[in-house]
Structure 1
């Protein structure tokens, strides 16, 4: 029994930050908001020959990342027939992006299930104070995770590496993808992931502390 409880403690402390980060990363990269905001703020699509405006392009990327669009491809009208605007190389890079985020989503799902199971079992045995302690330990792990994440991004940027490099993408001169997935957009995605993950971490902490708060009778706390 002691081994089980210790395992649940460890699982809870580890899965809280893992769930927060994986969920935050998926929200940021799959929802259209960050893309739309960046397109409007920078007018990045103004000189790009696309059949979609800022909002529509954000929705298109979001649909692709969610799997609603099978391929990352748009067509423009030509005199003879519609022409594809993205090359196989560009399509492959975005397919890799979706694949990697699917892996992150799967890891986040597993972490979330383990977190919920650990929390329920510890709550069942009335380890309320210990749950709060494990959340605090998880918060420390989370801070280390985010610091490592941001430092890794900073080092990669300083050494000339980008998100597109991670996708095994080597651009050609006429490719449109670098004009859409600009460095500014990549930076916004990185930092937005950290912000959204932190918000999720705080929400989960509030919920856990609220559920496990001590009962108060005549202004005194009882566990």
Structure 2
């Protein structure tokens, strides 16, 4: 059984996508990042960077004590290696999956996250920042579109953790002011993954978690990076 400490964000969705695709049993423990749950001592014990998602594997492969893992890319790799699913056995294909997983973790996620922040959440609109991250967003979409030419998925014909890492960030394309019609290969890939029953079950968590509108107190917690005042 996997304990998933989760909130319905792109990084949170990555893990529900894997768990549903792999058919692993899991329990969701909501981490309300607007109210500061990520700063609670019990959460910091498994995710010292005060970010979700994080997991606790109650039945690790070695049969030992529970294993906790934080950082979404590390969680995907841990689960893939544990189950042997959604990562190729062939060494050459495996390194390609890892390249694109790290591309998402180091580039696609952070850049699109800044697009979200300056374009949607920041109370002060800074034209330079908005344009800088919108431009970088379009560049990254172009990279992914070129990669998907003549490929069903990011690495060949098989779904992998690279796809599961990228898909939730592309799901926010409207918020990023991106028309998927401008990137036909990304559109094809995105729609094919979105149609999978396991993917639909994973994204359904978005509607199961009760959230309140973002207010000034939540903004301070989310964007100030500190625990809420007691």
Larger Rg: 1
Report the TM-score when normalising by structure 1. Answer: 0.31
Higher helix content, 1 or 2: 1
